Amino acid sequence: MNARDIRFCGETLTLLRSGALHWASRELLAVADLHLGKSERIARRSGTLLPPYDADETLARLAADVDAFRPEIVLCLGDSFDDLAAAGALSKTMRAKVLQLQESRKWIWLEGNHDPGPADLGGSHLNEFRLGPFVFRHIAENGAAPGEISGHFHPRARIRGTSRPCFMVDEARLILPAYGCYTGGLDWTASVLRDLFSRRAMAYLTGPQVLPAPVPNAQ
Encode pLDDT of 51-72 as tens digits: 455 788 899 999 999 999 999 9
Give dist(CA 45, CA 53) in Å, integer.
Answer: 18
Residue 18: per-residue pLDDT: 96
pLDDT-derived band of residue 162, with 50, 70 and 90 as boundaries?
A: confident
Confidence at residue 81, expressed as pLDDT on a 0 to 100 scale: 85
Q: Are 113 and 68 in contact (CB under 8 A)?
A: no
Compute, in degrees rounded to 10, the torsion defined by CA atoms 25, 100, 102, 104.
-70
Residue 42 pLDDT? 46
Residue 146 CA to residue 174 CA, distance in Å, equals 10
Lowest mean pLDDT among 87-101, 117-131, 138-152, 153-167: 87-101
List C-alpha distances in Å: 72 to 7, 66, 138, 187. 21, 10, 21, 33
Residues 6+ away with beta carbon under 8 Å from 103: none
Pairwise pLDDT comparison (121 vs 87), residue with the higher score: 121
Of these ranges, 55-59, 90-94, 169-173, 180-184, the one predicted with the greatest mean pLDDT is 169-173
Which domains can be identified in the chain, with CATH numbers?
Answer: 3-214 (3.60.21)
pLDDT of residue 86: 66
Whether the model clears a pTM of 0.85, i.e. scores above it, the answer is yes
Which pLDDT belongs to residue 91?
Answer: 82
Residue 30, SS3? strand
Confidence of residue 35 (pLDDT cuts 50, 70, 90): confident
